[in-house]
Amino acid sequence: MSERRRSGPIPTSPISQSGQAGGGRGRSDLELMEYADGELEREDAELLARLERDPEARGKVEAVRQLGELVRGHLELSADAVHDAKLAAMWRRIDDQIEAPSGVWARITGWFDRHRGHVITGAVSAGAVAALALILRPGGPDLGRPGSGYGAVDVRPVAMRTAPEIDSLDTPGGSSTVINIDDEDGHTTVIWVTPADTVEGI
């Protein structure tokens, strides 16, 4: 009985048959894609025979090839567009530098164009500070303004000025004598100070 079991055919389940079929189909599709992309290292005689007898396999290979050509063409066009845009921008920059005026004035205008925001901000800030200074300054009369009653300085020569007259002088610890002399040369004041502790004969 054991010999019959060994010599008899081994039954297979439908699940194992379908799994093997599915695995073989997946592998064959992968081989078809590799063949279409030229990734197979050597020609497979079995694969070539399958392509000759199976129109569906030939259709898959052709579809993969067309899809690859479309992708490669799109990538090449995109790369060309980027390259053309960079080249055009570079030529525009070169043309602008060639056509730009040279000299001191060009450098000044170029500096102003680069720092325009800072210059405008500084000018606006300075104007605002000046306006605040005018608004917040004290409301007193302007001493230098005509008709304000202030600032009219009497400037006369020294000879025309009236000299101050000194009638008396307070001298602590002594006495003082004030003498005012008026003559042709003008007014002279003589002040004589005598200490109180002066001892006679010294």
pLDDT attached to residue 17: 37
Domain boundaries, the chain: 17-100, 104-135, 165-195
| Cβ(113)–Cβ(120) below 8 Å | no
pTM: 0.27
Length of the chain: 202
Q: Which residues of the chain fall below pLDDT 50?
A: 1-24, 202
Strands 186-195 and 174-183, by their bridges, are antiparallel
For the stretch 53-110, pLDDT in tens is 888 888 888 888 888 888 877 777 776 666 777 777 888 887 777 765 566 676 777 7
pLDDT attached to residue 103: 65
For the stretch 55-69, pLDDT in tens is 888 888 888 888 888
